[in-house]
């Protein structure tokens, strides 16, 4: 076997090992978070309050259904929130929202 073929085969093996053993550490990979986490719930409440600043029919936050997180140039949350229109007597509906936190201190409070 030629030496360059050996190194190429070794490199391919190492790349495959790294990609299969560390998929959770790749930036941009979405990971589910705990919906009971107070920090994540507060972010959902904040997202609803920010939405309410721009509309006449206000929403009332009820609970957080699901959440995912990724780290790119900060923390990005993808949330599914249950909220209902305060002026109607309809049951809560689900709303999908994303929130970006560029504060590096916010990352430490998640763990």
This prediction has a pTM of: 0.66
Side-chain-side CA neighbours of residue 4 (13 Å): 0
Long-range CB pairs of 53-56, under 8 A, 24+ apart, other chains included: none
pLDDT in tens, 6-65: 555 555 555 554 444 445 557 778 888 877 778 889 999 999 999 999 999 899 999 999
């Amino acid at each position: 076997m030629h030496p360059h073929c050996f190194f190429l085969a070794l490199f391919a093996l190492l790349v495959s090992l790294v990609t299969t053993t560390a998929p959770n550490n790749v930036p941009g990979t979405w990971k589910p978070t705990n919906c009971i986490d107070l920090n994540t719930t507060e972010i959902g409440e904040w997202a609803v309050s920010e939405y309410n600043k721009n509309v006449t029919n206000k929403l009332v936050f009820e609970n957080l259904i699901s959440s995912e997180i990724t780290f790119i140039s900060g923390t990005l949350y993808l949330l599914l929130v249950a909220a209902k229109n305060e002026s109607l007597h309809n049951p809560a509906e689900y709303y999908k929202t994303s929130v970006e936190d560029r504060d590096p201190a916010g990352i430490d409070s998640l763990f």
